[in-house]
Structure 1
Amino acid sequence: MSERLRTWPTLVHDDLAPMVGYVNRVVQVAGKYTLDAPFEVGWGNIVLDVSPRGLRTPTFRQPGVTFSVHYRLLDGDVLIEADTGSRTVSLVQRSVASFFEEFCDAVAELGIDPPRTALVCEIPDCAPTFQHDDVERTWDPRAARLMWEAWDLAAGGLEAWQAPFLGNRPRVGVMWGGFDLSATRHSTRPTEPPPHRPAFQRNAQLSAYVAVGFAFGSDSAPEAGMYAYIWPQPDGLEGRSWGVDGAAWHADAGLVRLPWDRLGGTAEPHRAVVAFGDAVYQAAVDLAGWPADLAGPRVDGWYMSRTPPERVRAAEKARQH
Structure 2
Amino acid sequence: MVRSTPAKAVWPTLRVDSWSDTRDTLHMWSQIIGKLKLAGTPLVNHWWNVTFAVSARGLATGAIPVDGRLLDIEFDFVDHELVLRSSDGRHATIALRPRTVADFYAELGHVLGRLDIVVDIEASPNEVDPAIPFAEDTTHHSYDADAVHLFWQQLVQIQRVFQLWRAGFAGKSSPVQFFWGSFDLACTRFSGRPAPLHPGGAPNCADWVMEEAYSRECASAGFWPGGTEGTFYAYSYPAPDGYSARPAGPDGAEWDSTLGEFVLPYEAVRTSPDPDTTLLNFLNTTYASAADLAHWDRPLLDINPHRLARQLHTDDTTAL
Q: Give the TM-score band, short-chain normalised.
A: 0.7 to 0.9
What secondary structure does 2:19 align onto? helix
Indicate the percent of aligned positions where both proteins have the same amino acid: 28
| 2:306 counterpart of 1:299 | yes
Cα 1:163–1:263 change in 2 (3 A) is same
Aligned to 2:16: 13
- d(CA) in 2 for partners of 1:99, 1:44: 25
State how far apart, in whole Å, the 2-side matches of 1:2 and 1:304 are: 22
Question: CA shift at 1:265, angstroms?
Answer: 2.1
Q: Residue type of the partner of 1:13?
A: V
Which letter does structure 2 place at the counterpart of 1:179? F
Question: What's the CA shift for 1:41?
Answer: 2.2
Match for residue 198 of structure 2?
A: 194
Please give the alpha-carbon distance, in whole angstroms, between the structure 1 residues aligned to 2:251 and 2:173: 27
Which residue in the other structure is 1:268 paired with? 274
Contact 1:47-1:172 within 8 A present in 2 as well: no
Matched, 1:29 2:32: yes
- Greater shift, 258-267 or 112-121, is seen at 112-121
Asked if the contact 1:73–1:145 (Cα under 8 Å) also holds between the matched residues in 2, the reply is: yes
What is the Cα deviation at residue 64 of structure 1?
2.5
Q: CA deviation at 1:306?
A: 8.8
Choose which of 55, 63, 66 in structure 2 pairs with 1:62.
66
Provide Cα deviations, 1:150-207, integer angstroms capped at 9, x if missing partner. 1111111111100131111121111000001110112331122234642211221111
Q: CA deviation at 1:300?
A: 6.5
Gaps of 5+ in 1: 308-321
> Given that residues 235 and 261 in structure 2 are in contact (C-alpha distance below 8 angstroms), is that contact kept between their aligned partners in structure 1?
yes
For 2:7 and 2:122, locate their aligned partners in 1 and report how far apart those are by CA, in whole Å.
Answer: 41
1:51, distance to aligned residue in structure 2 (A): 1.0
Q: 2: CA distance between counterparts of 1:270 and 1:284?
A: 21
Q: Is the 8 Å Cα contact of residues 230 and 284 (structure 1) preserved in structure 2? A: yes
Q: Where in structure 2 are there 5+ consecutive unaligned residues?
A: 1-5, 202-206, 315-320
1:301 Cα shift? 4.7
**How many Å separate the matches in 1 of 2:158 and 2:210?**
24
Q: 2:94 aligns with which of 89, 98, 107?
A: 89
Letter in 2 for 1:14: D
Distance in 1 separating the partners of 2:105 and 2:85? 17
Cα distance change of structure 1 residues 156 and 306 upon mapping to structure 2, 3 Å threshold: closer
- The equivalent residue for 1:216 is 225
Partner Cα distance (1:183, 1:153) in 2: 14
Identify which of 251, 259, 263 aligns with 1:245: 251
Equivalent-residue separation in structure 1 for 2:200 and 2:249 (angstroms) = 35
Cα contact 2:97–2:145 (8 A) shared by 1: no
Within the candidate set 174, 178, 183, 1:179 is matched to 183
Measure how far apart 1:56 and its partner are. Answer: 0.5
TM superposition shift of 1:45: 1.6
The correspondence for 2:130, drawn from 79, 104, 125, is 125
TM-score in terms of structure 2 length = 0.87
Mapped pair 1:279 → 2:285: yes
1:310 aligns with none
Question: SS where residue 304 of structure 2 aligns?
Answer: coil
Number of residue pairs aligned between Structure 1 and Structure 2 = 301
SS at match of 1:181: strand
- In structure 1, the partner of 2:43 is 39
Q: Secondary structure at the match of 1:111?
A: coil
